[in-house]
Amino acid sequence: MSIDDQVDTVMPNTTNKASAIAPAYGIVSQASRLAYGVEDAAEALGLSRSRLYELIAAGEIAACKVGKRTIIQVNELTAFLDRHRVERLPGGRAAPTPPPRQRSADR
């Protein structure tokens, strides 16, 4: 029995067989990515590409350049969300948000 037959047995309506078997062969899945490109990072945050570039320029999100490609580490996206979390006070009011972090000279 070939791998295609095995996939058809488990997931008969699958159109992309490679993605169905990818985890079994150690191919990196979406959940285990270390970094995202700008388009994917913006989508993950629910922001536009332009807004994400503004946040990078303002030092709110640290990005890496690999050749011409700009990538953002997953932990940087998570840290950004943690810094902008709105705390709830008793009575349902939102707590004041802290000022944005200052851009360091070594970035």
pLDDT in tens, 56-88: 999 999 999 999 999 999 999 999 999 998 877
Distance of alpha carbon 9 from alpha carbon 69, whole angstroms: 39
Confidence of residue 101 (pLDDT cuts 50, 70, 90): low
68 part of a folded domain: yes
97 part of a folded domain: no
**Three-state DSSP state, 71:** strand
Task: Give me the number of domains the chain comprises.
Answer: 1
17 part of a folded domain: no
H-type alpha helices, 1-99: 3-10, 17-21, 38-45, 49-57, 74-83
Residues 33-56 pLDDT 10s: 899 999 999 999 999 999 999 999
80 part of a folded domain: yes
Cα separations (Å) of 39 from 63, 70, 71, 75, 95?
13, 10, 9, 17, 31
User: Domain range for residue 38?
Assistant: 30-84
57 part of a folded domain: yes
What's CA 90's distance to the chain center, in Å?
32
63 part of a folded domain: yes
16 part of a folded domain: no
Lowest model confidence (mean pLDDT) among 13-22, 68-77, 78-87, 92-101: 13-22
Instruction: List Cβ neighbours of 62 (8 Å cut-off, separation of 6 or more).
Output: 56, 72, 73, 76, 107
> What pLDDT score does 32 carry?
82
Look up the CATH number of the domain holding residue 75.
1.10.10
24 part of a folded domain: no
